[in-house]
């Protein structure tokens, strides 16, 4: 009987994981509650994305393209190749931060309050929406 409960528990947890199709996640994503810069990530078909980052004075500081894909076997994790890790830092004071685009990054895609979003790290439960990007309608 204990194994039956374990099986149901595992099945329940698996059913709680969001699964996304490429068509669902295509679109424009912007950061939630950023104050020092503005950023857009546009996910396009065929695994391409465009990105523009503006400083607080609305000057374009980064205009780039890169590749994205779902992590192998996981349609709820997106991987970016050639990626700028934007944590809402002051890009006027530290413009060199926008030069670092050679890295890659992966993020869990979630549905929050009916919206698709992913968070890029360094966040805590005390600060909701910290470093999160939400799909625009």
Residue 43 domain-assigned (yes or no): yes
61-96 pLDDT per residue, tens: 999 999 999 998 899 999 999 999 998 999 999 999
Number of domains, the chain: 1
CATH code, domain with 94: 2.40.128.640
pLDDT of residue 76: 93
Residue 74 domain-assigned (yes or no): yes
In terms of pLDDT, which residue wins out, 87 or 3?
87
CA dist 120 and 15 (Å) reads 24
CA dist 89 and 27 (Å) reads 24
Residue 92 domain-assigned (yes or no): yes
CA dist 111 and 103 (Å) reads 26
Residue 12 domain-assigned (yes or no): no
Residue 100 domain-assigned (yes or no): yes
Residue 2 domain-assigned (yes or no): no
Structural domain of residue 38, as residue ranges?
20-135
Q: Does residue 133 have a pLDDT over 90?
A: yes
Residue 7 domain-assigned (yes or no): no
29-53 pLDDT per residue, tens: 999 989 999 999 999 999 999 999 9
C-alpha torsion 103→77→43→31, nearest 10: -80
Helices (H), 17-137: 22-25
Residue 6 domain-assigned (yes or no): no
CA dist 11 and 6 (Å) reads 9
User: What does the DSSP 8-state code read for residue 23?
Assistant: H
CA dist 50 and 12 (Å) reads 37
Task: Identify the H or E element spanning 135.
Answer: strand 132-135
CA dist 137 and 134 (Å) reads 10
pLDDT of residue 131: 86
The set of residues, in sequence order, having a beta carbon less than 8 Å from that of 75 and lying 6+ positions away, is: 19, 20, 21
């Amino acid at each position: 009987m204990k194994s039956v409960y374990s099986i149901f528990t595992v099945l329940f947890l698996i059913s709680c994981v969001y699964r996304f199709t490429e068509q669902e996640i295509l679109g424009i994503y912007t950061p939630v509650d950023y104050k020092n810069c503005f950023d857009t990530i546009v996910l396009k078909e065929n695994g391409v994305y465009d990105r523009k980052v503006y400083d607080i004075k609305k000057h374009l500081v980064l205009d780039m393209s890169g590749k994205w894909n779902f992590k192998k076997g996981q349609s709820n994790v997106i991987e970016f190749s050639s990626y700028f890790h934007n944590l809402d830092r002051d890009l006027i004071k530290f413009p060199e931060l926008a030069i670092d685009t050679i890295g890659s990054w992966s993020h869990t895609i979630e549905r929050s309050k009916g919206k698709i979003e992913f968070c890029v790290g360094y966040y805590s439960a005390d600060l909701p929406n910290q470093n999160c990007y939400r799909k625009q309608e």
